[in-house]
């Protein structure tokens, strides 16, 4: 059943028309998890995290950076066109996954689909480089402004794909990708578009961005095994969904992920969008939400609509690995589901927090679980039982500003609508 906020019935010209469902017909990503669904699934079935260490300003820091294969793909793209040489990685990541997604969805001959790909931070590396240059020379480069604006992402993807549909770039912090999905659904429900490419892209592994996260005291610490009283913390630097942790353990990652949305249920449908929810709560602090995450409660209830709580098999949590963030979302889920608590999981323990991209990587995790009918849990979390049949999954995301989004996905029968 669709969410009450996405009614089945649309009043138009005094007549009633049944609204078509919306399917995800393709999803593509580039992250520490890999560049294909096969790689992603393989890595999810490996209980080892994928983080590596890098020196930032003389200090070793855990990060989730792209692997050698993925980096080589991006460099190949950068060198394929002289115009691309001066683009930030956040733009190149988006172009790369967009190409793969439209190929998977068989949209190569379509030119009228909409594009909404956002970013929390945008062209961080390029902006920092231009700023350093300005401090040294007291002059700004000609391309400093046009190559660091947030609108670069969707506009360059549209340029690369030669599309003629609407193009939107936005930043709604860490819920950006799921807000892009919301926008795509809204455009399609309104009748202004039949297809939309939605997602997020982030390339935040820069000295200043890392320094910002450390200043917030949310970043995981490098603890030598000999000095750690909790050895599992060393084995898993990000303790996302571990409600017993005593320190913040967020790890920053990079990458992009996009999905193709189409009306109806086709033979290539990967999942059906049954409900969407969104909410913002009044801030009591610049970086935190309430102790029981009222925004998540409202977003999940909107996405659920009249759906029976017993039908929800899994919640893919935002769970960034911080003490308050993980706990407040967990309490929100308890408030909504009560004794009908679904299985809870997250991917931050293995892939890190990719800011704007994170919500779409969570959608990807939900899709591969629906496809393979196998629950991917968190290795250091105890689960009472294993789910055998996965039909409905809720995916959550939230960012600074208390703006939460919840998406209800279901398995499709892959039949023509």
Q: Could you read off the pLDDT of 28-59 as tens digits, one per residue?
A: 999 999 999 999 999 999 999 999 999 999 99
Q: What is the pLDDT of residues 120-162, one digit of tens each?
A: 999 999 999 999 999 999 999 999 999 999 889 999 999 999 9
Distance, CA of 28 to CA of 103 (rounded, Å) = 10
Q: Which two tokens stand for residue 313?
A: 């098999």
Least confident of 7-11, 118-122, 140-144, 237-241: 7-11
Residue-averaged pLDDT of the chain: 90
Residue 285, pLDDT score? 58
Q: What is the mean pLDDT of residues 61-67?
A: 97
| Least-confidence region, from 85-89, 206-210, 306-310, 386-390 | 386-390
In this prediction, residue 92 has a pLDDT band, given cuts at 50, 70 and 90, of very high
Per domain, the residue ranges of the chain are 9-211+249-410
CATH T-level topology, domain 9-211+249-410: Peroxisomal Thiolase; Chain A, domain 1 (3.40.47)
Determine contact, residues 337/358, Cβ cutoff 8 Å: no
Strand 59-64 to 52-56 pairing: antiparallel
- Provide the 10 A C-beta neighbour count for residue 401: 17
CA nearest to 295, candidates 282, 314, 308, 312 = 282
Measured distance CA(3)–CA(302) in Å, rounded: 7
Q: What is the spatial distance between Cα 42 and Cα 117, in angstroms, rounded to a whole number?
A: 26
Judged against a pLDDT cut of 50, whether residue 12 lies above it is answered with no
> How does residue 223 score in pLDDT terms, banded at 50, 70 and 90?
low
pTM for the full predicted model = 0.92
pLDDT score at 288: 61
Residues 361, 338 contacting (CB under 8 angstroms): no
pLDDT value, residue 387: 84
Which tokens sit at 417?
A: 């609508």
Quickly state the pLDDT bin for 227 (edges 50, 70, 90): very low
Degrees (nearest 5) of the Cα angle 163, 165, 170? 100
Which residue do the tokens 């323990």 mark?
Answer: 349
Q: Check: CB of residue 392 under 8 Å from CB of residue 312.
A: yes
Q: Collapse the DSSP code of 379 into the 3-class scheme (helix H, G, I; strand E, B; otherwise coil) and give the result.
A: coil
What pLDDT is stored for residue 5 in this prediction?
39
What's the pLDDT at 401? 74
Q: What is the pLDDT of residue 340?
A: 86
Neighbours of 71 (CB within 10 A): 13
Rounded Cα–Cα distance for residues 155 and 352 (Å): 27
281 vs 185, which has greater pLDDT? 185
What is the C-alpha separation between 106 and 91, in angstroms, rounded?
22
Instruction: Quote the distance between the C-alpha of residue 385 and its chain's center.
Output: 27
Phi and psi of 348, rounded to 5°? -65, -25
Local structure of 6: helix, strand or coil? coil
Residue 102 has pLDDT above 80, yes or no: yes
CA 242, 248, 249: angle at the middle one, nearest 5? Answer: 70
Say whether pLDDT at 349 is over 50.
yes
Structure tokens at 301: 């209830």
For 250, 279, 294, 332, the CA distances from 298, given in Å and listed in that order, are 25, 6, 6, 9
Which tokens belong to 107? 């949209």
Could you tell me what percent of the chain has a pLDDT over 90? 82
**Alpha-carbon distance 290 to 354, whole Å?**
23
């Amino acid at each position: 059943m669709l969410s009450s906020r996405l009614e089945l019935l649309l009043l138009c010209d005094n007549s009633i028309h049944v609204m078509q469902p919306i399917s995800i017909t393709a999803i593509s990503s580039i992250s520490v998890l890999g560049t294909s669904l096969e790689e992603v699934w393989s890595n999810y079935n490996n209980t080892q995290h994928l983080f590596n260490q890098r020196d930032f300003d003389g200090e070793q820091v855990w990060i989730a950076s792209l692997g050698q294969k993925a980096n080589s793909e991006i460099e190949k793209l950068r060198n394929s066109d002289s115009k691309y040489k001066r683009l930030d990685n956040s733009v190149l990541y988006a172009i790369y996954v967009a190409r793969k997604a439209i190929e998977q969805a068989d949209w190569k001959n379509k030119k009228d689909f909409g594009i909404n790909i956002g970013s929390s931070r945008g062209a961080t590396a390029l902006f920092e480089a231009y700023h350093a240059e300005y401090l040294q020379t007291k002059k700004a480069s000609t391309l400093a402004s046009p190559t660091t604006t947030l609108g670069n992402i969707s506009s360059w993807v549209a340029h690369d794909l030669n599309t003629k549909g609407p193009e939107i770039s936005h930043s709604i912090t860490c819920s950006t990708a799921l807000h892009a999905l919301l926008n795509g659904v809204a455009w399609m429900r309104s009748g202004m578009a039949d297809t939309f490419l939605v997602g997020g892209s982030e390339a935040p592994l820069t000295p200043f961005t890392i320094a910002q996260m450390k200043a917030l005291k949310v970043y995981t610490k490098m603890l030598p095994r000999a000095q750690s009283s909790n050895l599992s913390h060393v084995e898993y630097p990000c303790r996302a969904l571990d409600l017993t942790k005593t320190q913040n353990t967020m790890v920053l990652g990079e990458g992009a992920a996009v999905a193709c949305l189409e009306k109806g249920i086709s033979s290539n449908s990967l999942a059906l969008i049954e409900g969407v929810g969104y909410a913002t709560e009044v801030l009591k602090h610049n970086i935190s939400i309430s102790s029981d995450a009222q925004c998540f409660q409202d977003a999940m209830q909107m996405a659920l609509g009249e759906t029976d709580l017993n039908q929800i098999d899994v919640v893919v949590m935002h769970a960034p690995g911080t003490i308050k963030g993980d706990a407040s979302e967990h309490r929100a889920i308890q408030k909504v589901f009560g004794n009908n608590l679904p299985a809870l999981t997250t991917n931050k323990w293995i892939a890190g927090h990719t800011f704007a991209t994170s919500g779409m990587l969570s959608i990807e995790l939900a899709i591969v679980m629906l496809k393979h009918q196998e629950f991917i849990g968190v290795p250091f979390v105890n689960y009472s039982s294993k789910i055998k049949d996965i039909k409905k999954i809720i995916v959550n995301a939230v960012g600074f500003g208390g703006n939460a989004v919840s998406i209800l996905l279901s398995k499709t029968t892959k039949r023509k609508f």
